[in-house]
Structure 1
């Protein structure tokens, strides 16, 4: 597939939004862990920066938040605001899964666009999109001593990310604009993830006879 580079402005805006949303969702998940602000910052930054860091290392490109410290400030600000607000309002248990789904969609789109712009094969681009989307959440769950969400049945986590990435790549191949393709891919990720949360959709699980 011929690489179709996405505008840097679109990637930048989506990436910044993804960092903020994922950092906030990470803080919400720590509610029952009774972490202090330092713990929340560690979990929030690992969640919001982890997937993109691994993607950049695999692509042998400068790590995004080292090249532009605005991503780091964005993550810190999102963690701080969420930490303060969550202490003053009642937060329903499990609320983090909704912003987490939004963050998964945003990071999947960003990761896929960056991989396509780097000129890698479409299949590699789709897997790099999944890495960008799910690795941060895996780090978050490990740090708060939970089974990673991507490993739990009834989540369609990585599956939603991969299908969204394939949708984005297919739309680009059909000649769609970058914004339209990103919207389609993100909508697939978000729609599948929210449907899995609502109706407990799941893939077949392994059971030995």
Structure 2
């Protein structure tokens, strides 16, 4: 199994958990759990593969859908055991982001894409599944929450992988660096309230 496949399986499983947890907050049925879990799990990778004009990963290997479905089933029967499902969503989503961004970077590098495309594919793979999940479940998308570090984490992680590669580091180390930066920033936002400045309207000058 390739490194990209391992990253894809890991991100699919963890993102599916977050999707199913969001479905539990919306009080959906089992089919709803599976739908939202699978949408979250494969959404970012699908956008990535379509843009890169490569075979969509879960179409070529349907076992990804089976993994996402299994995760959704697990959450359906165990979500009530969690003290705070919202907190679990935030932290699982942070882990999934840290896995999905390197997967997007690796896929783009495998297609010999230029560096701006590599960064964008890292961001897309990490962010679009969660965005679809939140829109479908009528939640405020995490990627758009006021001042919260999310897309910034993906962007910084993808850029750090390119910086490490430019310094002559091997791909594996660059992807680990990408995951570390992505998770570190997202965890800091959740644990310590790290935020970006937001636009505040002002009255027009006379």
Q: Give the Å deviation of 1:91.
A: 3.6
Measure the CA separation in 1 of the matches of 2:85 and 2:111: 40
Measure the CA separation in 1 of the matches of 2:6 and 2:97: 15
Q: Which residue of 1 is the match for residue 82 of structure 2?
A: 90
Q: State which of 38, 50, 71 in structure 1 corresponds to 2:43.
A: 50
Q: Which residue of 1 is the match for residue 198 of structure 2?
A: 205
Measure the CA separation in 2 of the matches of 1:68 and 1:135: 20
1:196 aligns with 2:186: no
Q: Give the Å deviation of 1:138.
A: 0.4
Q: Give the Å deviation of 1:28.
A: 1.6
Measure the CA separation in 1 of the matches of 2:70 and 2:30: 12
Q: Which structure 2 segments of 5+ residues have no match?
A: none
Q: Give the Å deviation of 1:74.
A: 1.1
Q: Which residue of 2 is the match for residue 4 of structure 1?
A: none
Q: State which of 162, 166, 170 in structure 2 corresponds to 1:173.
A: 166
Matched residue pairs, number? 201
Say whether the 8 Å CA contact 1:49–1:136 is kept in structure 2: yes
Deviations 1:104-154 (A, max 9, x none): 111100001101111111111101110110000000101110111100024
Q: Which residue of 2 is the match for residue 112 of structure 1?
A: 105
Q: Give the Å deviation of 1:14.
A: 1.1
Q: Which residue of 2 is the match for residue 158 of structure 1?
A: 151
Measure the CA separation in 2 of the matches of 1:128 and 1:168: 13
- Give the TM-score taking structure 2 as reference length: 0.93
Q: Give the Å deviation of 1:60.
A: 0.9
Q: Which runs of 4+ in 1 moved over 4 A?
A: none
Measure the CA separation in 2 of the matches of 1:59 and 1:90: 38
Q: Which residue of 2 is the match for residue 129 of structure 1?
A: 122
Q: Which residue of 1 is the match for residue 10 of structure 2?
A: 17
Task: Identify which of structures 1 and 2 has the higher relative contact order when contacts are C-alpha pairs closer than 8 Å and 6+ apart.
Answer: 1
Q: Give the Å deviation of 1:175.
A: 1.8
Measure the CA separation in 1 of the matches of 2:171 and 2:197: 34
1:184 aligns with 2:177: yes
1:29 aligns with 2:10: no
Tell me the secondary structure at the aligned position of residue 2 of structure 2.
Answer: helix
RMSD (Å), alpha carbons: 1.2
Bigger drift between 108-117 and 165-174 goes to 165-174
Measure the CA separation in 2 of the matches of 1:20 and 1:100: 11
